[in-house]
Amino acid sequence: MNKAFYKLTLYGMTVLCLSCGQTQEKTSETNLDTQPVAPADTSGHFIRSILNTSPKEVEKALGKADKPLMRSKDCDYLPTCMSTTYQNGKFEALFYENKLKWLEINRTDLYNSNAIEWIGFPKAEPTFTSDRCIFWRSAETRGTATGPLLTISGLRNISACSEWVIVSINTHYNGKL
């Protein structure tokens, strides 16, 4: 009987000690919840608005192109394309049938799960991540990835890496995301 009493007492003291530590943690969590939340960075939202627009409309957002549009052999998934850069190469653009379909943003560090929101799209779970990039992909660009897919109609792929971000839309994109 004494053995059972000691075990029960030891168990009770352990529970009491553990619960005391949890109370402190919950208090600090509560204090964090009352801290003001910094507003989300929306400086990249314009990117969503220029997808599938003409070179003239892209120029309104990014400024004059660094060089004239040129036929490109590096068209990624596009059958043919014209390419140019803006802001001393910070933005690389591919146009298909005179519409922006692929945009690379260079010299930026958006390697975080908020990159998709920075561009102006709703938060979404990445399809997969690596040690250098986070990828959101549509069913069309899934490859061997098994993670969640983009559900935004017409959006093909978003890749956020430590030095660049790529946003691409489908060639059959209808102008509405």
- Bridge partner list, 79: none
- Bridge partner list, 102: 94, 168
Write 4-10 long-range contacts (CB < 8 A, 24+). Answer: none
Q: What predicted TM-score, i.e. pTM, was given to this entire model?
A: 0.71
How many alpha carbons lie under 13 Å from residue 38 in its C-beta half-sphere? 3
Sorted by where each begins, the domain ranges of the chain are 46-169
Cβ pair 82, 95 in contact under 8 A:
yes
Cβ pair 136, 116 in contact under 8 A:
yes
- pLDDT in 10s for each residue of the chain, 177 residues: 555 444 444 444 443 343 444 444 434 444 444 545 455 677 788 898 999 999 999 999 999 999 999 999 888 788 889 999 999 999 999 999 999 999 999 988 788 888 899 888 888 999 999 998 999 998 878 777 778 888 878 888 999 998 889 898 886 665 554
CA 26/CA 39 separation, integer angstroms? 25
